[in-house]
Amino acid sequence: MNGRTNNVPTRSTHGRKAFLAALCIGMLLSGCVGHPIAGRLTRQASSPQQVSMPDLRAALGQFEDYLQETIKQAAADLDERMPEPNVRRNTLLWKMRLIPACQAAMRQDDALKAFVDCWTLAVRMREYLETGEGRSLFGEHQSIAVDAARRIEADIERIGTSFLPDDRLAKAGDEVKAFAAEHPMRGVFGNVVQRAPAP
């Protein structure tokens, strides 16, 4: 995109429901609900890199910029190739809903919570565009949107590799993906922000 450097940095049914209820800070605007994945990562973040929380926050700032730039560029490419009014409406909603959702996650004081919620947002967006309700939103040019979403997801995962060992990153990724599968985006980039009551 803009040449940005990348130098950052099954449970029982009852247990699964408890986990999902606690995680539903999900796409977030609620800073008061406990965050089980981030809590575990706080205890587990002990990789050789020893990335500090300020370093993680800086990396997330770069991710936020990357998400915005990537979505805006993909939307512009789609608008150019498909100038129909409904496509412009869809690309506008993509920008208007996903970028603020990322910004909301980033406003949290806890960098680990922000990381997990940005990761969840990226997974949900990719699944929505790749196999979910948004899989045919852009017709023959759907691959532009899917490719953008995949790159965004890869970028947030890259940040995870900077401070988590592979096994812990994989476990957290499984939980993020399970939550994303239970809470898919709907309609035209709808249902972006997910909240649940505290367990």
Per-residue H/E/C for the chain: CCCCCCCCCCCCHHHHHHHHHHHCCCCCCCCCCCCHHHHHHHHHCCCCCCCCHHHHHHHHHHHHHHHHHHHHHHHHHHHHHCCCHHHHHHHHHHHHHHHHHHHHHHCCCCHHHHHHHHHHHHHHHHHHHHCCCCCCCCHHHHHHHHHHHHHHHHHHHHHHHCCCCHHHHHHHHHHHHHHHHHCCCECCCECCCCCCCCC
> Could you tell me if residue 198 is inside a domain?
no
Res 144 pLDDT > 90? yes
5 domain-assigned = no
pTM for this prediction: 0.75
What's the whole-number mean pLDDT along residues 42-68? 78
d(CA 3, CA 9) in angstroms, rounded, equals 16
Q: Tell me the range of 33-42, 137-146, 172-181 where mean pLDDT is highest.
A: 137-146
Work out the widest C-alpha separation in the chain, in whole angstroms: 51
In a domain? residue 25:
yes
Whether residue 80 lies inside any domain: the answer is yes
The structural domain count of the chain equals: 1
Confirm whether 50 is domain-assigned. Answer: yes
Determine the structural domain holding residue 147 and report its residue range. 13-182
Looking at residue 10, its pLDDT comes to 38
On whether residue 187 sits in a domain, the answer given is no
Q: Does residue 197 sit within a domain?
A: no
Mean pLDDT, range 140-165, rounded to an integer: 96
pLDDT 10s digits, 57-99: 999 999 999 999 999 999 999 999 999 999 999 999 999 999 9
Task: Tell whether 61 is covered by a domain.
Answer: yes
pLDDT in tens, 60-70: 999 999 999 99
